[in-house]
Amino acid sequence: MSELWRLSGSQIANLVRLGEISATEVARDALARLDAVNPQINAVVDYRPQETLARAAAVDAAIARGEPAGPLAGVPVTIKINVDQAGYATSNGLKSKADLIASGNNPVVDGFLRAGAVIVGRTNTPAFSCRYFTDNQLYGPTLNPRDPAVTCGGSSGGAAAAVAAGIGCIGHGNDIGGSVRYPAYACGIHGLRPGLGRVPTCNASGPDRTIGFQIMSVQGPLARTIQDVRLGLAAMAGRDMRDPWCFEAPAGTGYNPQLAAVCLHPDGIETAPEVEKAVLDAAQRLRDAGWTVVTLDEVPPLIEGSLIMHTLWVADYPESKIADAEAEGDPGAIAAMRGAVELVGPVDVARFSATLTRRANLVREWLLFLEKYPVLLMPVSSELPFDTDIDLKKGYRYIYDHQHFLAGLPAFGIPALTVSTGMAGSRPVGVQIVASRMREDLCLAAGEAIEARGVPPMPVDPVSA
């Protein structure tokens, strides 16, 4: 068997466009890799090889006709099961939605197809996509290919595990409280949460989401190289009027001041020694690359942002949603929903309005801060990646207290990138890079400089349970 699955997406696209390999060869290799490793990790839960091969053949035919192949020509990608892909169930990990077949594509799917990508399968998510752990009653758990005792993260855990194991080069994910960044962290790859509005989304198979979800949830790419993250973002972003929050970013100046701040303990948040060491290492890597990096003791409020995120989330999860989780019989979803409700308390109209107002105040503080410090380095999580299902053992408050670095930023609508930098035993370590609105390019530029100085081995063969 060939090992094209080890190549990056940018390498594959170049070789396909040059005619040195065909998209069909790449697709066959990707499907063989899926068959070889997916039974051990259960990352891809819905795939149709003949459709994948037909799509690859169409890419090859377009190239043969001399038509533009696209920046992702022949690149294998995966799509998360909570967005519409025509002919497939938008199940969101729920038995009750196992037959909710989409009649059209979410804009992110259309974006990948326009770019020439080949979809090899759909990836797992926790029930309702509301945990940092990936398991559900429909498809079962997804295991971390680096260590099955460690969570693969959530909710884009299937996407991260697939990419880490070499099933596709780019995984689609979405992030409302860390659901791209945390799986990337846990599986030892990279993941970008774009800013609000940068990537259009719309699931016509269901009703529009409520306001808290609309202003916090975004679609983003996961990949083994920063260049592939960049290509994934370019494919997913674009004009699409199905999403009322979407905008076209203006042509950037390309200006990169190479100025970053690093903050280890905003709001006094404690971190594990390995986490602190990884962030300091990333800061030094930037200095070695010629950046100016200053150390700060404090940044604008982060824990308050985390509470805002949870408040807006809880406001959109009435008792009927908890009843749905109980009907589904998923212990993780029930614990997450009930835990968040207990943490936040009642949210009436007055509190909801006050929360949105305070959000505006904090967005202003963060944007002004990022005018002075264009890039911010900080931890991804207070701890190394969690043990599997630790939320069911230690409770929701434990998770909340250790994930402010992830949950605080979505309230402000700014981009953030997880960059994996190494390993602490069997658990990956890394850094989170934050920038201002429409400056995903700065996250990626800093991430590329950090990546160039060392990452954990990837892709990996799954470790047996």
Q: What is the set of active-site residues?
A: 80, 155, 179
Alpha-carbon span 139 to 128, nearest angstrom: 13
Neighbours of 316 (CB within 10 A): 17
The three-class DSSP label of residue 79 is strand
Alpha-carbon span 456 to 427, nearest angstrom: 10
Burial of residue 70 (CB within 10 Å: 0-12, 13-18, 19+) is: buried
Please tell me the total number of residues recorded for the chain in this structure.
465
b/e burial code for range 211-220 (CB count within 10 A of at least 16 → b): ebebbbbbbb
Strand ranges of the sheet holding 375-378, from the earlier edge strand across to the other edge: 44-46, 118-123, 76-80, 170-175, 218-223, 190-193, 416-424, 427-434, 375-378, 259-262, 292-295
DSSP result, 354-367: HHHHHHHHHHHHHH
Find residue 292's DSSP bridge partners.
259
Rounded alpha-carbon distances, angstroms, from residue 277 to 273, 274, 421, 430, 453: 6, 5, 11, 9, 15
CB-based contact 141:78 (threshold 8 Å): no
Alpha-carbon span 416 to 430, nearest angstrom: 13
